[in-house]
Amino acid sequence: MDQIVRPRRLRGGETIRKMVRETRMDKSSLIYPMFVIDGVNIEEEIPSMEGQYRYSVDRMCCELERLVEAGVGSVMLFGIPAEKDETGSQAYAKDGIVQRALREAKARFPELYYITDVCMCEYTSHGHCGILKGHDVENDQTLAYLSRIALSHVEAGADMVAPSDMMDGRVQAIRRELDGSGFKEIPIMSYAVKYASAFYGPFRDAAGSAPAFGDRKSYQMDFHNSREGIREALLDVKEGADIIMVKPALSYLDMVTKVRDHVQVPVAAYSVSGEYAMVKAAAAKGWIEEERIMCEMAVSTYRAGAGIYLTYYAKELAKCMDEGKIG
């Protein structure tokens, strides 16, 4: 048979397969989402997210140490306050849960890179991501609160802030607040392409952030739309976003690729709680091989164009990279 072109030549062994690998991953691109909660001596597993915990400030350092040992260098902090109110005042309080966690973490593990989620849903009594006017979230009034939250995080030691609220104009408002306060070098990672998704269910259980009424469809994106996502990404870059995030990841890999093709800044993707919970549940039933699925999901996200991956599997993926199973 006179067959000249044989793609299988480049698949014949592990060395050649790695040599020609198109998608490469590195531990430095992993970000681990972590929940910190008001209280003392708390390390409670989240029922819908097996293996994930809520940590009080005095207990979180054990997990941070495990991240350092695994070689995961970046953490995204989400705060769960003891008290909530209409304006989410604990989100920007000097002694708020994230602010205290940052000061302690920076003192104990200064080598880690700390990113904070900037939103109000975990802190408001109504569970929405902004200030209410009746039953509607008032966009422009909310911007001042988001800017105040971001500034309080940076003053407490945050290396980067990540607004996740999906208010129009919030990147510009936060950029102006940080710049005007002498923090011009702090980057913003914008949840620019954030869909109103059922994949967030376990997170809302973890953070106690489910809305008390209605839903978030008036500010998070309709999952039928892709051109709108590109518009959101380009607007946020124009407003000063340094990194653009797509969320969720698994069902939105087309958006990762489209955003990557339209922006000239790094693209991140968040493998959200629902993705993690589905894998854990199926693995517990013995229906799938958890490690292989975890790796395949990660590689698919990088292959789609993400350069940064937020995942609850960060430590496990780092181990697989060390062992040469992915990378």
Could you list the active site residues? 194, 247
Question: What Cα–Cα distance (Å) separates residue 72 from each residue in 35, 87, 118, 191, 232?
Answer: 16, 34, 22, 21, 30
Burial class, 178, CB count within 10 angstroms (exposed 0-12 / middle 13-18 / buried 19+): buried
Q: Distance between alpha carbon 64 and the CA centroid of its chain, in Å?
A: 17
Regarding beta strands 267-270 and 308-310, do their DSSP bridges make them parallel or antiparallel, or are they unpaired? parallel
Comparing C-alpha atoms, which of 167, 147, 174 is closest to residue 218? Answer: 167
d(CA 231, CA 168): 12
What contacts 119, CB < 8 A, 6 or more positions away? 91, 129, 146, 149, 163, 164, 165
CA atoms lying within 13 Å on the CB side of residue 82: 9
In angstroms, the CA 239 to CA 10 distance is: 45
Q: How far apart are CA 255 and CA 257, in angstroms?
A: 5
Instruction: Return d(Cα 315, Cα 311) in angstroms, integer.
Output: 9
- Rg over alpha carbons for the chain, rounded to the nearest Å, is 20
CB 324 within 8 A of CB 295: no
In contact, 302 and 23? CB cutoff 8 Å: yes
* Strand-strand pairing, 30-37 and 43-46: unpaired
Q: Locate tokens 């819908």: which residue?
A: 48
